[in-house]
Amino acid sequence: MGKYLYFGNASLFLLLSLIQTNAIAQSWEIAREADRCPSKWGADDERGSANMVTPTSVLNALQVVKTGEIYELGEVLTTDPEESYINRGRVFNIYTKPVVPVEGRRVSSEELVVTELGQVGTQLDGFTHQMYGESFYNCFKYKDIVTRSGYQKLGIENVGSIISRGILIDIAGYKGVNMVAQDYVITVADIRQALARQNTKIQSGDAVIINTGWGKNRGVNNENYGTNTPGIGIEAGLWIVEQQPVLVGTDTCCVEFRSPENRRLDVHSLMLIEKGIYMIENMNLEKLANDKVFEFLFVVQPLKLKGATGSAVAPIAIR
Residue at 19 is within a domain:
no
Tell me what pLDDT residue 112 has. 95
Lowest mean pLDDT among 66-70, 171-175, 222-226: 222-226
Angle at 193 between CA 187 and CA 198, to 5 degrees: 130
The number of folded domains in the chain is 1
In a domain, residue 102? The reply is no
Neighbours of 259 (CB within 10 A): 13
Tell me whether residue 220 is in a domain.
yes
Q: Report the distance separating Cα 92 and Cα 119, nearest Å.
A: 10
What residues have CB less than 8 Å from 283, skipping those under 6 apart? 73, 74, 75, 122, 209, 215, 249, 250, 251, 315
Cα–Cα distance for residue pair 116/309, rounded to 1 Å: 10
Q: Looking at the domain assignment, is residue 9 inside a domain?
A: no
At 70, which amino acid appears? I
Confidence of residue 89 (pLDDT cuts 50, 70, 90): confident
Whether the per-residue pLDDT at 148 is higher than 80: the answer is yes
Given a contact cutoff of 8 angstroms between Cβ atoms, the answer to whether 185 and 231 are in contact is yes
Q: Is 245 within the bounds of a domain?
A: yes
pLDDT (0 to 100) of residue 269: 97
Q: What pLDDT is attached to residue 242?
A: 98
| Pairwise CA distance, residues 227 & 260, whole Å | 8
- The enclosing domain of 123 has a CATH number of 3.50.30.50
DSSP letter, residue 255: S
Is residue 123 included in any domain, yes or no?
yes
In DSSP terms, which residues pair with 280 in a beta bridge? 124, 249
| 1 within some domain | no
pLDDT exceeds cutoff 90 at 289: yes
Res. 83 pLDDT band, cuts 50 70 90: confident
> Is the pLDDT at 261 greater than 90, yes or no?
no
Residue range(s) defining the domain that contains residue 143: 32-79+117-318
Give the residue from 170, 71, 86, 151 showing the smallest Cα distance to 122: 86
